[in-house]
Structures are given as C-alpha cells and as structure tokens.
C-alpha cells in the first residue's frame, strides 16, 4: 500500500515537472528530465542522507511513472493545463504523501524526531526546488510566499510524533499525509501567505 501511495505522489509531481518543461519550451528530453527530477529528487536526497540505496533505483516503476506523466503532458498539455486546479489539488496530495512517507522512513532508520521531520520536508519539497534550479529560475518555495513548506512541516512533525509513540503502518502515514494535504488546500483557498520581513515592501 505504501508503494502505491508513493507512486501516486511521484506521478503528480512528475506532471508538474513536465508542465514546467512546456512553459520553458524544452524538448521532450528536457521535459522528461524535469519530470524525473521533480518526482524523484526529494526521495533520492533523503535516501542519500540515510546512506541507503535510493528507492528510485530499486523499482522500475519509480522511473517509468514520470515517463508516463511526460508522455501525457507532451501530447495533451493544453488539456492538462485546463485542469490545473485539479493538478494543484493532486500536488497538495503528493506533498502530504511525500512528507509523511519521508519522515516515516527516516524514523525507521533511527533518526531523532527532529531530524526525521527535516528529512520529511526535504522529501516533499526537494524535487520541486531542483526542478526550478534546472529550469533556470529561483525556486518558487523561496519567493511565492504561499504556504507550501509549512503544511509539509506540520505533516512531517505529526508523523515523527506518532512514530515516537510507537504508532506505525500505512494508516498512520496516511493520516499525517491527510493533515498536510488539508492544510495546504485551506492555505490555497484562503490565500494564506508567509509574512515578509518587517518593513519590507510587497
């Protein structure tokens, strides 16, 4: 069940990476690269920090799913763009899944709850940051002020807390993911933003 959830998150993140490639007028190879990096980058960084072989290199599905997402965007990107609100909702779901799964894995490898939380956030937002850097723009996480990392923080911290109390398994992981997802959706609908430094202009 956890692998299915993981692949679902990978597919959604890959869609956003491929769409970035379309906006940057990249060819299909560039689109595929952005899709793979967006979908797998955070998890690879997490596993390298944990000093284990990245999960992306242990299953063919982890590599193929972003390619499927690339093909969908390549042939039907005008239609995919039209359903961007749905993509954003799915992206929020991917954020929740990745932060909770990343935190759970970090806890399994003996990290403290604090370090596991940090690694869960990295899993959720790392791929998007790598995507933006490769696409030649400042990572949106740093300047759009939308609450993106904060929901990941809440989900990761919740997952770490539950794990530290001996609660494990996919229902717990899913519960933490739903919490992060819900917070992200509410932030988007209410247009919540992180504050600027005092005295800084808009």
Asked whether the predicted pLDDT for residue 96 surpasses 80, the reply is yes
How far apart are alpha carbons 39 and 56 in whole angstroms?
Answer: 10
Q: Does the structure show a pLDDT above 90 at 104?
A: yes
Percentage of the chain exceeding pLDDT 90: 55
pLDDT at position 55 is 83
Question: What predicted TM-score, i.e. pTM, was given to this entire model?
Answer: 0.87
Q: Which of 47, 126, 124 has its CA nearest to residue 91? A: 124
Report whether pLDDT(1) > 70: no
Residue 86's pLDDT is 81
**Taking residues 127-137, what's their average pLDDT?**
89
Per the prediction, the chain carries an average pLDDT of 88
Over residues 52-64, mean pLDDT: 90
Confidence of residue 201 (pLDDT cuts 50, 70, 90): low
Tokens of 185: 């959706």
- Could you report the per-residue pLDDT of 73-94, keeping only the tens digit for each? 999 888 877 877 887 888 888 8
């Amino acid at each position: 069940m956890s692998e299915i959830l993981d692949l679902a998150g990978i597919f959604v993140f890959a869609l956003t990476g491929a769409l970035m490639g379309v906006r940057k007028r990249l060819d299909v190879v560039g689109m595929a690269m952005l899709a793979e990096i967006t979908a797998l980058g955070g998890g690879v960084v997490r596993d390298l920090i944990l000093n284990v072989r990245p999960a992306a290199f242990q299953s063919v599905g982890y590599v193929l799913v972003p390619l499927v997402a690339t093909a969908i965007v390549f042939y039907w990107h005008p239609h995919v763009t039209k359903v961007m609100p749905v993509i954003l909702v799915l992206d929020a779901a991917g954020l929740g899944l990745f932060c909770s799964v990343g935190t759970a894995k970090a806890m399994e490898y003996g990290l403290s709850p604090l370090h596991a939380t940090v690694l869960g956030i990295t899993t959720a937002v790392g791929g998007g940051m790598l995507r933006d850097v490769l696409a030649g723009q400042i990572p949106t996480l740093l300047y759009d002020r939308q609450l993106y990392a904060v929901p990941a923080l809440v989900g990761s911290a919740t997952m770490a807390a539950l794990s530290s109390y001996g609660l494990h398994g996919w229902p717990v992981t899913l519960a933490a993911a739903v919490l992060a997802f819900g917070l992200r959706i509410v932030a988007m609908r209410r247009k919540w933003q992180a504050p600027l430094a005092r005295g800084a202009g808009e």
